[in-house]
Amino acid sequence: MEQKLIGLLLGDEEDWPSAFEMLAERLKKPLKYRRKNFQIEVDRIRIHPFNLRDSTRYDLVIDRLAYWHFNPREWLKKTALINNVYLLNNPFSFQSMEKHSAYCAMIRLGLNIPETILVPSKIGPDSTKYPATSAKYHDLFDLTEVAKELKYPFYMKPFDGGGWRGVSKVRDEAELARTYDESGQMLMHLQAGLEDYEVFVRSLAIGPQVSSFHYDPEQPPHGRYVIDHQFLDQQKGREAQIITKTINAFFRWDFNSCECILKDGILSPIDFANACPDIAVTSLHYYFPWAIKALMAWSIYCVVSERSMRITMDIEKYFKIADSDRSYEEKLAAYEKMADKHFETKRFEEFRGTVLKDLDEIMWELVQTEEFNQMIAQTVRGMFPEHEHDEFIAHFQGLLKHWVDSENF
């Protein structure tokens, strides 16, 4: 029996890791693949000093921490380079490909990125060299003139993004001046707003598995994912999925979300460098079981098939398509073909349908357990005021009951 160990690198969240562990426990029977038997184990990773030559027990790591915690971020890089551990997100491209570079790359691929302008930070770096450099080489500019390339309202947001940090809607010149003053040392984008849009789409991707959701960013976090299965027609639904897979394959991200806005028949990606996406039960609610199943299926496939970690990027072949005279639709089709090759989509789907053929039913049964209901209750108690506990426990348990009833088992 060959054991494979999946490590969870976590912050303060308890909901999805607990659900993932519950599901893994119910999948404890040996998995047979290519004449071998595998046992899958899950472990929460501890943080401590490490020698760069240290070995590790882990075969794969799911990271929800290193985007803000530097010690585990550097440990991830070490495990990829020294230990050949499979990481669901390439830490090298995730660290360097912040929102700005991601926008640039996808503009090059011909995606419908809204007009975006980078402006110097209001306050320069804390360096004794900055004043002299600024005096010699920085062009003075009128921010209101720069902004005339866009129409009000538009958005000001940090070039590196992260959890809606520093994002502001700018409605007029006074708001522009105030928001820029408040940005301090942050380097900011001005990005055209897509007002009066038809629908806001958020796609969550785990490996080649993509699910697109109707999303309402104006709602509080627990109300943003709208239960709506008919909000996109088939063509636009496919386009949203292809865009998401393309972005992830390009940057070597296996676990990411992509936000798009559909307006006047054009699907425009606006935020897609989210390689540690939120999958909390209080966010996804009805869609939470899909995310946990998808995460489990892809993780097991990667360790059992001994999929190699992709550290380096292969962008030239994408640019070759981008620079061709193909139509937008033809380019998307070509990008999808490369993405499916990268993610081994056909091979994974065969694995999912045979080795993990019971996964859907096992998840369905798990959601109906008292253990799962207690996880929801504990999560609500940690997030909401005491006087709202009963209301929201019933709310989220009811949405998961709705999911159970909608499945055919």
Gap between the Cα atoms of 317 and 25, Å rounded: 42
pTM: 0.92
pLDDT tens digits, one per residue of 212-243 = 999 999 999 999 999 999 999 999 999 999 99
Domains in the chain (CATH in brackets) are 115-192 (3.30.1490.20), 199-308+315-359 (3.30.470)
Query: Are 99 and 159 a contacting pair, CB within 8 Å?
Result: yes
pLDDT tens digits, one per residue of 164-187 = 778 899 999 999 999 999 999 999
| H-run or E-run covering 328 | helix 328-343
Give the model's confidence band at 159: pLDDT under 50 very low, under 70 low, under 90 confident, else very high.
confident
pLDDT tens digits, one per residue of 251-306 = 999 999 999 999 999 999 999 988 889 999 999 999 999 999 999 999 999 999 99
The radius of gyration of the chain from alpha carbons, rounded to an integer in Å, stands at: 22
* pLDDT score at 348: 98
pLDDT tens digits, one per residue of 24-58 = 999 988 899 998 999 999 999 999 999 999 999 99
Q: How many CA atoms lie within 13 A of 72 on its CB side?
A: 19
Gap between the Cα atoms of 30 and 37, Å rounded: 6
* pLDDT score at 165: 79
The region, left, alpha or beta by phi > 0 then psi within -120 to 50, assigned to residue 4 is beta
Gap between the Cα atoms of 114 and 351, Å rounded: 39
pLDDT tens digits, one per residue of 188-210 = 999 999 989 999 999 999 999 99
Q: Is the dihedral of CA 49, 50, 56, 60 positive or negative?
A: positive
* pLDDT score at 1: 86
* pLDDT score at 160: 82
* pLDDT score at 276: 82
Average pLDDT on 372-379 reads: 98
pLDDT tens digits, one per residue of 91-132 = 888 765 578 888 999 999 999 999 999 999 999 989 999 999
User: By three-state DSSP, how is residue 397 classified?
Assistant: helix
Is residue 21 scored above 70 in pLDDT?
A: yes
Is residue 163 scored above 80 in pLDDT?
A: no
Is residue 60 scored above 60 in pLDDT?
A: yes
* pLDDT score at 97: 54
